[in-house]
Amino acid sequence: MKLNIRRLKSSDWDTIDKWWKAWEGWDNPGKDFLPENGTGGFMVENGKQPILAGFLYTTNSKVIWLDWIISNPDYRKKNRQEAIELLINASENVCKAMGYKYVFSIGRNNNLIKTHKELGWFVDEKPSHEIFKLIN
């Protein structure tokens, strides 16, 4: 079956939340931490089966931030890698169409880092840390 990509819907939240809970070492950042309250991104599907999702943060500069890529831990088909590439490439195309010049991402998953490299992204080899503070 052919993969397709679409905008996230509010009804996707329960599915994505289950994925975060299923992956060891990953925490759900919460809807209010994500763009458009959890709908600012894309879902890749195989037919009607959700495979993975990612989020796009827009900025007031020429950069857009692609992050929080999360996948269905029960999906074991060969085209998982194709789905990741589809999400990244589609995000790049949307960014270009919106007039952005740069796409930025943060990652620690080795497969995602490798895929970004293969798709021509610069990957800084020095580790960095996500730093944030809840202020209210």
pLDDT in the model for residue 76: 81
Residues contacting 4, CB < 8 A, separation 6+: 44, 45
Closest alpha carbon to 112 in 62, 76, 78, 69: 69
- Would you list the domain boundaries of the chain? 3-118
Contact 5, 90 (CB under 8 A): yes
Domain 3-118: which CATH class?
Answer: alpha beta
Contact 129, 106 (CB under 8 A): no
Convert the pLDDT of each residue in 43-73 to its tens digit: 999 999 999 999 999 999 999 999 999 999 9
* Percent residues over pLDDT 70 in the chain: 99
Convert the pLDDT of each residue in 5-29 to its tens digit: 999 999 999 999 999 999 888 888 9
pLDDT in the model for residue 132: 83
Contact 115, 105 (CB under 8 A): no
Flag whether pLDDT at 109 surpasses 90.
no
Alpha carbon distance 28, 59 (integer Å): 22
No. of helices (H) and no. of strands (E), the chain: 3, 5
pLDDT in the model for residue 108: 85
Lowest-pLDDT choice from 30-34, 52-56, 92-96, 127-131: 127-131
| Consecutive H or E run containing 15 | helix 13-22
The stretch 84-94 carries a mean pLDDT of 95
Q: How many CB atoms lie within 10 A of CB 51?
A: 23
- The two three-digit tokens of residue 18, written as one number: 């289950």
Alpha helices in 23-132 (DSSP H): 80-97, 110-118
pLDDT in the model for residue 1: 67
